[in-house]
Structure 1
Amino acid sequence: MQFGIFSVGDVTTDPTTGRTPTEHERIKAMVAIALKAEEVGLDVFATGEHHNPPFVPSSPTTMLGYIAARTKKLILSTSTTLITTNDPVKIAEDFAMLQHLAEGRVDVMMGRGNTTSVYPWFGKDISQGIPLAVENYALLHRLWLEEDIDWQGRFRTPLQSFTSTPRPLDGTPPFVWHGSIRSPEIAEQAAYYGDGFFANNLFLPKEHFQRLIDLYRERYAHHGHGTPEQAIVGLGGQVFMRKNSQDAVREFRPYFDNAPVYGHGPSLEEFTEQTPLTVGSPQEAIEKTLAFRDTFGDYQRQLFLMDHAGLPLKTVLEQLDLLGEEVVPVLRAEFAKNRPANVPDGPTHTARVTRRAEESCGASTPRRGASRVQSPSG
Structure 2
Amino acid sequence: MSSMQFGIFTVGDVTHNPVDGVTISEHERIKNTVEIAKKAEEVGLDVFATGEHHNPPFVPSSPTTTLAYIGAQTEKIILSTSTTLITTNDPVKLAEDYATLQHLVDGRMDLMLGRGNTAPVYPWFGYDGSKAVELTIEHYQLLRRLWEEDVVTWEGKFRTPLQSFTATPRPLDGVAPFVWHGSIRTPEVAELAAYYGDGYFANNIFWPKEHYIRLINFYRQRYAHYGHGEPQQAVVGLGGQFFMRKNSQDAVKEFRPYFDVAPVYGHGPSLEEFSAQTPLTVGSPQQFIEKTLTFADFFGDYQRQLFLVDHAGLPQKVVLEQLDLLGEVLPTLRAEFDARRPADVPDAPTHAARVAARDAANATEGAEQVSA
Q: TM-score, normalised by structure 1?
A: 0.95
Partner of 2:333: 331
Identical amino acids, percent of aligned pairs: 73
SS state at 2:111 partner? strand
For residue 152 of structure 1, what is the amino acid of its counterpart? Answer: E
Instruction: Supply the distance in 2 between the matched residues of 1:161 and 1:207 (Cα, whole angstroms).
Output: 46
Matched, 1:148 2:132: no
Matched, 1:87 2:90: yes
1:348 corresponds to which of 344, 347, 350: 350
Consecutive unaligned residues of structure 2, counting only runs of 5 or more, are none
Partner of 2:228: 225
Partner of 1:37: 40
Matches within 5 A, 1:4-83: 4-83=7-86
Partner of 2:5: 2
SS state at 2:340 partner? coil
Residue 339 of structure 1, CA deviation: 1.3
Instruction: Supply the distance in 2 between the matched residues of 1:67 and 1:254 (Cα, whole angstroms).
Output: 31
Q: 1:364 to 1:221 in 2, by over 3 A?
A: farther
For residue 25 of structure 2, what is the amino acid of its counterpart? Answer: T
Partner of 1:369: none
Matches within 5 A, 1:310-329: 310-325=313-328, 327-329=329-331
Partner of 2:208: 205
1:258 corresponds to which of 253, 257, 261: 261
Aligned residues: 365
Partner of 1:105: 108
Residue 361 of structure 1, CA deviation: 1.7
Matched, 1:357 2:359: yes
Instruction: Supply the distance in 1 between the matched residues of 2:340 and 2:360 (Cα, whole angstroms).
Output: 27
Q: Deviations over 1:91-114 (max 9, x none)?
A: 000000000000000101000001
For residue 171 of structure 1, what is the amino acid of its counterpart? Answer: G
Q: 1:207 to 1:7 in 2, by over 3 A?
A: same
Consecutive unaligned residues of structure 1, counting only runs of 5 or more, are 367-378
Residue 338 of structure 1, CA deviation: 2.9
Residue 364 of structure 1, CA deviation: 7.1
Instruction: Supply the distance in 1 between the matched residues of 2:191 and 2:64 (Cα, whole angstroms).
Output: 27
Residue 363 of structure 1, CA deviation: 3.4
For residue 10 of structure 2, what is the amino acid of its counterpart? Answer: S
Instruction: Supply the distance in 1 between the matched residues of 2:268 and 2:214 (Cα, whole angstroms).
Output: 25
SS state at 1:261 partner? coil
Residue 148 of structure 1, CA deviation: 1.3
Matched, 1:132 2:141: no
Q: TM-score, normalised by structure 2?
A: 0.97
SS state at 2:52 partner? coil
1:278 corresponds to which of 275, 281, 289: 281
